[in-house]
Amino acid sequence: MNEHGMKDPELGGTALRGMLERATADEPLIGPVAANALVAGLKRRRRRRVSGVIGCVVVIAAVSVTVPALTGTRQATPAPAGPTGTAMATVYVSNHSSGLVTPISTATNTAGPSIKGGGKLNVAMAATPNGKTVYVLNQASDTVTPISTATNKAGRPIKVAEYPYAITMTPDGKIAYVLSENSQLTAIMTATNTASPPIAISPAGYSVGDGPAITPDGKTVYISPSNQSDYLIPVSTATDKAGKPIRLNGPSDAIAITPDGKTAYSVNMADQGTVTPIALATDKAGPAIDVGRYPDDIAITPDGKTAYVMNNSSNTVTPIDTATNKAGSAIDVGANPSGIAITPDGKTVYVTCSDPGTVVPINTATNTAGPAIKVGEYPYAIVIAR
């Protein structure tokens, strides 16, 4: 263990590599990706982050599997119950080109003064469960900048591994994990905003795929081993052991899990444009739900009744009734939607739209979009601090 209470980096990397090796040993389709497929996947990932076609709310969960391996704990801490109500929440939107972060009051749907959030290429954000701090991930400087939501002031940037692209928070909010393009993982202790030395979590050149998510009880994380894979792998966070891979209806690009932990929804960003429901009690995938070509992100209401799927190709958001797994009518939101988040009370969905530089609120009672909120050029990630 090092001074941060973390396992030795070499041992941590070995354990996590072992998970991927165990999961892929009997499944050749999700073994090491061929060179041309890997290069295509990495180009696709970079293109999405440069163009603004990114869904950061779901990908935020990408590194939750590493929590027990790095901290040594064998029992996850569930997220504490937080206050509810739209009026108590603030939406934070990162602007890709300017590097600014814009707060939006959910009570009035008005944008406040922009915050310097660490420089250009802000591509992902996470908020502590108590809503006191928002962490902004910046690819240009390889840093994460904490922002106090009480003052909307940015703190000192925290250096992380090169070319970071995802960030997630432990259920108790004590550690933020940052995943980098070169498969390096950096842990940030939120009490002190200090980073541990990065460790390798997979063989060189092999990146964790888009869209993993952790169950609400923190016991299992579902991983797509690469963005070329048609599989998800369940991993026990208590033992670091991977279960049998789950066959999907297409490559997984984003995942969201219902609040009761019973169902995972995997977005398949491909020509067929589907979402695959997975019964987590049996790890069985159900019939694909057609939502239109190139869906890119997904978020689920706090009551678990509706999943909202963002579609960058059609500039829409499609609601899915989770009781029937039937898709409803698509909702027009504006050009190039790039991120999606839902308020704690479930009354409003907020969608960033890159080209117009707006955030569009959707009333979940009527599934109608409200007036766009101007936030500046190329808004990317979005997170809601309660």
Average pLDDT, the chain: 74
Residue with token string 């935020």: 60
pLDDT at 169 over 80: no
- pLDDT of the residue at 192: 96
Contact 215, 261 (CB under 8 A): yes
- pLDDT of the residue at 15: 40
> Which H or E run contains 180?
strand 175-180
Report residue 184's pLDDT band, with 50, 70 and 90 as the boundaries.
low
Range of lowest pLDDT (9-23, 86-100, 160-174, 313-327): 9-23
Domain boundaries, the chain: 9-385
pLDDT per residue over 75-104, tens digit each?
Answer: 444 544 433 444 478 999 988 778 899 999
- Of 48-62, 110-124, 355-369, where does the model show the most confidence? 355-369
In whole angstroms, what is the distance from residue 285 CA to residue 277 CA? 6
pLDDT per residue over 280-328, tens digit each?
Answer: 999 889 999 999 878 888 999 999 999 999 998 889 999 999 999 999 9
In whole angstroms, what is the distance from residue 42 CA to residue 205 CA? 9
Alpha helices by DSSP H, the chain? 9-24, 35-51, 56-59, 66-71
Report residue 279's pLDDT band, with 50, 70 and 90 as the boundaries.
very high
Q: Supply the DSSP string of 197-251, one letter for each residue.
A: PPEE-SSTT-PPPS--EE-TTSSEEEE-SSTT-SEEEEEETTT--B---EE-SS-
Q: Supply the DSSP string of 336-373, one letter for each residue.
A: SEEEEEE-TTSSEEEEEETTTTEEEEEETTTTEE---E
Better pLDDT: 29 or 326: 326
The neighbouring-strand residues paired with 231 are: 247
Domain 9-385 listed as CATH 2.130.10.10:
yes
